Structure 1
Amino acid sequence: MYKAVAAIVLVASALPAWAQMTPEGLWRNIDDKTGEAKAEIRIRDTGAGGLLGVLEKRLSKDAKPDDVCKECTDDRKDKPVLGLEIIRGAKKADGKDVWEGGKILDPENGRNYTLRLTPIEGGKKLEVRGSIGPFGRTQTWIRIQ
């Protein structure tokens, strides 16, 4: 009896840590050049196995509530930056805690980059890598509880 209870408690206490090793959740994006917080992005599963990330809150000092994605060239052109889908289609790689194969949009320049998401530090942070060919950059986002 005690072993069964102990096993249930052990599994239940491990679930929150396991559940955090995913990009799903609310993240604060930090500019890799200035170190300033720029935005909050909510990442969720689309139900079809891919991820979708929406810009929920802008934190930049120069952000205006009515800004639109003027530089976008797809269906997001001239759409409000607030609420914009900036992550599309990343899927979990087999046997790894890495999500890849999707795209991430930089609303400042309208470019779509190949995306790789890697939860680190027990899921407290997220390495977000955007690249075009061999060139790219990585930002570290912070999970918001």
Structure 2
Amino acid sequence: MTRFTAYAFGRMALAGALVASAGLAMAQSDTPVGTWQTIDDSTGKPKAIVQITEDDAGALNGKILRGLGENDQPERRCTACTDARKDQLVKGMTIITGMKQDGSNWSGGQILDPESGKLYKCKMHLEDGGQKLVVRGYIGVSLLGRSQTWLRQQ
């Protein structure tokens, strides 16, 4: 193999790796699957790191990996929860369940507020090229709720 051929082959391999990497980044940015920093909608401060995964049925679920700031208490429990999560550790707790894609939105699931123990209907959508996730929890109709904007973590 000549030096030119080896050089050209190396450049093509590098270009292929870059295209594959860009494709992976694009795939991750068009879905909420990934790791997110939650932001408290009332204080504007970072609250927790949540990992969203897709199950075998195609539904999205999210669990708390760890708290941030004053919420970084590994032994904190959901004392206000009224379901099977009552008195369970908040760290590792699944707080988002059953989110299904509906066009460019995800809905049909629930989100738990571990502070109040309340369950809300949930919908979410991506913004800023998939770098922000707007999560809305509500009762009844979407107008009666609140939204948080979460930031994608790399």
The TM-score bracket by the shorter chain reads 0.7 to 0.9
- Decide which of 93, 117, 120 is 1:113's aligned counterpart: 120
- CA-atom RMSD in angstroms: 1.9
Pairing partner for 2:83 from 60, 74, 77: 74
Provide TM-score, normalisation by structure 1.
0.87
Number of aligned residue pairs: give it. 137
Higher relative contact order (CA 8 A, sep 6+): 1
Higher percent of residues as helix: 2
Counterpart secondary structure, 1:122: helix
Matched residues in 2 for 1:60 and 1:113: separation?
24
SS in 2 for 1:61: helix
TM-score under structure 2 length normalisation:
0.82
Q: Residue 142 in 1 paired to residue 151 in 2?
A: yes
Distance between the aligned counterparts of 1:36 and 1:128, measured in 2? 16
Structure 1 unpaired stretches of 5+? none
* Runs of 5+ unmatched residues, structure 2: 1-11
The SS at the match of 1:80 is coil
Equivalent residue runs for 1:83-102 within 5 Å: 83-93=92-102, 96-102=103-109
Per the TM alignment, residue 117 of structure 1 is displaced from its structure 2 partner at its CA by 1.3
Superposition pairs of residues 22-61 of structure 1, within 5 angstroms? 22-61=31-70
Q: Greater Rg, structure 1 or structure 2? A: 2
